[in-house]
Structure 1
Amino acid sequence: MNKGIYLLLLLLLASSCISNRRITYFQNLPGNEPIGLEEFIPYAEVEYEYILQPFDIVDIDFATSDEELTKAFEFQGSRSMRGGMAGGRGGMGGGDIFYFTGYTIDKDGFVDIPKLGKIEIAGISEESARLKVQREINEFFQEEVFVRLRTGGIRYTTLGEFSSVGTQLIMRNRATIFDALANAGEANILAKKNQLFIIRQYDGGTKIHQINLNDRRLLASPYYFIQPNDILYLEPMRIRQVGTGDNLVQSLQLGATLVTMFIFFYGLTQGLF
């Protein structure tokens, strides 16, 4: 009986521990060409360039020597509102100011700019949209007006086994999948890091992509960089579904509890108690 109990305890501990290979980033996985340390890894051939979509919010600034002319393109008080929120934050996240001061692309792909009217910018890159607005304003005014157009940071959503779930914001124009993980407080130890799903929006629809965070070759993947409006979803391991502890102490406690229960019920059936 003692040997059976020891064997059961070992099986429980083995099943409740998580292999380092399932939680370690940047591994050289079997079946792939190994990538050595300090080896140069070029980015994927797919060029990273975000395409503006309906319901995106863009920040458009105008600069000219004539301050009165610049004010003609602003919504009333938007510049002062932006300065106040940037300084005091108003209890909101740093990127929320764009919701109040930026231009929302409508469902048909247009932004409505004072004096210029509606301009279609969905379906093109930020730089192409900036040049398009620049051409429109050059036709409207003889005096040179400089245009700056950009998205309000990278907003994305985390679901599943993240330390922090919900809408996240990175105030940069480009961010990697690991920037997104760090910004969301890392993935839980019980997450399937080899099966991270990226739900990405495209012109006219959505695609689901799957990447392996454990694989060093991810650095050369076209999904190494996240895009605005991405949804990142991490499933839990099967070990989570049976309520197993996520560290050695919890695993030992769980194993001891199960063994104690087994001995108790075995003793009852054998009339030992």
Structure 2
Amino acid sequence: MKHFAYAILLILLASSCISNKRITYLQNLPGNEVIDIDEFIPYANVEYKYVLQPFDIVDIDFASSDPELTEAFTFQGTKNIRGGMMGAGGGGDLFYFTGYSIDELGFIELPKLGKIHIAGLTENQAKVKVQEAINEYFKDDVFVKLRTAGIRYTTIGEFGASGTHVILRNRATIFDALASAGESNILAKRNKLFVIRQYDGGTKIHQINLHDRALLASPFYFIQPNDILYLEPMKIRQFGNADNLSSSLQLFATFLASGLLIFGLVRGSL
């Protein structure tokens, strides 16, 4: 009976441990071309240029040596909203109130200029197109600045914080996204991170392995606006979550060890 109880205790203790191989990022897995830790790893041969899509929001600002020229292109209160929300830490969400939404056909509508089709263009191409449209009115007297509302993405599943996040940069890696969302749960399947990415006219689901050092040279090393990241839980998830599983198993093991000690003392005294 005692040997059987000890065997059960050892099994419980072993099951409460998760191998480092299941939680360590960027391992040198078999088959990787990358071997040396100091080896230079070039980015994937994929041009990192996000193209604007319907329902994206872009911020467009105008500047001129003559402020009266830009008044016709500025909505009332927009400047106050920008200043107020930036002061309050509004971040990328301020563009929802001050920016221009691309409609389902790919157009934005600007005062005086009317509708301009910018879906399918990069930020710089869209800026040039708007600049050309405004030059028809003011030649080269007005300067246009156009940008997207940072990189907005969504995390669901075994993340530290699920939800929508915004990184106010033009480029961000998958690890920037993980860090911003609160690193992945210890029970997450890091070898099965699903990236749901929007393309022109549809969506694709990609699976990447965060354990694999080859990720650094893959086309999914950089995230794109509107990406959805989903992390599956390990099967052990059914017994508890990462916050209480280890403590629960340790507590159970402690009670079992105490019970076995008492049982042994009582039996020895008989």
Q: TM-score, normalised by structure 2?
A: 0.90
1:53-75 Cα distance to aligned partner (Å, 9 max, x none):
01100011111111011111111
RMSD of aligned C-alpha atoms? 2.0
Paired position in structure 2 for 1:252: 250
The answer (yes or no) to whether the contact 2:185–2:242 under 8 Å persists in 1 is no
Paired position in structure 1 for 2:52: 52
Paired position in structure 2 for 1:138: 135
Quickly say closer, same or farther: Cα 1:70–1:244, change in 2 above 3 A: closer
Paired position in structure 2 for 1:164: 161
**Count of residue correspondences:** 259
Superposition pairs of residues 70-149 of structure 1, within 5 angstroms: 70-89=70-89, 93-149=90-146
Quickly say closer, same or farther: Cα 1:74–1:20, change in 2 above 3 A: same
Deviates more, 1:28-37 or 1:64-73: 28-37
The answer (yes or no) to whether the contact 1:245–1:251 under 8 Å persists in 2 is no
Q: TM-score, normalised by structure 1?
A: 0.89
Distance 2:107 2:64 in 1: 24
- Shift in Å at residue 36 of structure 1? 1.7
Distance 2:224 2:231 in 1: 17
Distance 2:111 2:3 in 1: 82
1:8-46 Cα distance to aligned partner (Å, 9 max, x none):
222222222100111011210123234322211100001
What is the DSSP-based 3-state SS (H/G/I as helix, E as strand, rest coil) of the residue aligned with 1:155? strand
Q: Residue 171 of structure 2 is aligned with which of 171, 174, 178?
A: 174
Q: Unpaired runs of 5+ in structure 1?
A: 263-273
Quickly say closer, same or farther: Cα 1:34–1:220, change in 2 above 3 A: closer
Distance 2:122 2:74 in 1: 23
Quickly say closer, same or farther: Cα 1:5–1:244, change in 2 above 3 A: farther
- Shift in Å at residue 77 of structure 1? 1.9
State percent identity of aligned pairs.
68
Q: Unpaired runs of 5+ in structure 2?
A: 261-270
Distance 1:203 1:244 in 2: 38
1:112-133 Cα distance to aligned partner (Å, 9 max, x none):
0111000000111111111111
- Shift in Å at residue 260 of structure 1? 8.8
Quickly say closer, same or farther: Cα 1:25–1:131, change in 2 above 3 A: same
- Shift in Å at residue 144 of structure 1? 2.4
Paired position in structure 2 for 1:268: none
